[in-house]
Amino acid sequence: MSGTTIHQFTSKLLTELSDYYPEYEIRQMAKLLLQEVLKVSNTELLMMNREQLDEKQLQILDGYKEQLKQHIPLQYIIGHTEFYNLQFSVSPAVLIPRPETEELVNWILTDQLPINSLLDIGTGSGCIATALKANMPNTQVTAWDISEEALAVAKQNAKHLKQEVQFELIDVLNHQPNAEKFDCIVSNPPYVRELEKSMMEANVLENEPHTALFVKDTDPLLFYRSIALLAKQILNPQGYLYFEINEYLAKDMEAMLSTAGFNNIEYRKDINGKDRMMKARLKS
C-alpha cells in the first residue's frame, strides 16, 4: 500500500468493510481513524485528501481495520470518545457514551434547578457525572458504580478533565443509606431486556459489558425500582430524579414512580423519536 493517499485509504476501507458496516458509518470511521493517527482536526483532514500516508501510519490504520472487522467498537480501538464536548477515555470495562445520554445531561442543565448536591448511580465512564460537574462547578457531585474497573476509568476521566467528583464503589441493589442527602439523582442503569438482544448490533453484544446493559425479562424495572426506593430516603425534600429509560417501558416507569411516591413525572423523546428520558419529583 506504499504511496497510498488519504483519499485512497478511505476508498479501500469502504470496499473492505462493506460487508460489515453501512457506507455512512465506514466514512465516519475513516474520518475518526485518520484524525487519530494524523493528530489533526476534521477541518485539517478535509484539506489533506491528496496527501500520502507513510508506512507507519498505514500499519496502524491496517491494524485498526482488522479490529473493525472483528466488530470491536471504534471507540474501544482508539480508546476515547466525545461526550458533551469533552473527551472521555473508554475501555471494555465501561459502556460507550451515547448521544441519547448527552440529551439527558442537557435536560438537567437546561432545567437550571438549584442543585447543590447530585448523585450519579451507575456512572460507568463517569461521563454523566463529569460533564455535569464541568457545567455546574458549584454543585457537589458524587458517582457510584459496582465495578472497580469502571470506577478506575471514571476517576481517570475526571482527573484528566480537572473535575472534582467523589467516586464510590457501591452496589445500589444492596446499599444501606447513611446520612447522605442529595438534591438530585441521575441514573442510566441497565435497562435492555434479554428479549431485545436480537435487535442489537454485534459490536455492542460482543464487546460492551453486559452487566451495564441487560436486565432479566421477568423484572426489567429492577434497578429503577431500587433507585426510586433508595431515593425516597436520600433525596432532600422535593428532590429530583432523572433517568435514561427503555423506550418500551415508559408507561410502566411512570406507574412505578407514582406508586413509589414521586409526582410531576415527565418523559421526553430522544433524537430518534423514542421515549428515552424521564424526570420525577419526590412528593412533599
At residue 163, the 3 state secondary structure works out as coil
Separation CA 224–CA 243 (nearest Å) = 8
Predicted local confidence at residue 143, as pLDDT: 98
Q: Are 240 and 184 in contact (CB under 8 A)?
A: yes
Name the grid cell of 216.
432479566
For the segment 59-73, what is each residue's pLDDT rounded down to a tens digit?
Answer: 999 999 999 999 999
Q: Sketch the domain layout of the chain as residue ranges.
A: 6-70, 91-282
DSSP 273: S
pLDDT < 50 positions in the chain: 1
For the segment 172-225, what is each residue's pLDDT rounded down to a tens digit?
Answer: 999 998 888 999 999 998 776 667 766 667 676 666 666 666 677 778 898 999
Q: Give the CB-side neighbour count of residue 273, counting CA atoms within 13 A.
A: 0
Predicted local confidence at residue 200, as pLDDT: 63
H or E stretch covering 236: strand 235-244
What angle is formed at CA 221 by the lines to CA 175 and CA 75, rounded to 5 degrees? 85
Separation CA 39–CA 71 (nearest Å) = 24
What angle is formed at CA 204 by the lines to CA 199 and CA 209, rounded to 5 degrees? 120
Separation CA 13–CA 17 (nearest Å) = 6
What angle is formed at CA 33 by the lines to CA 101 and CA 103, rounded to 5 degrees? 10
Separation CA 42–CA 270 (nearest Å) = 26
Predicted local confidence at residue 199, as pLDDT: 65
Superfamily of domain 91-282: Vaccinia Virus protein VP39 (3.40.50.150)
Name the grid cell of 223.
434497578
At residue 11, the 3 state secondary structure works out as helix
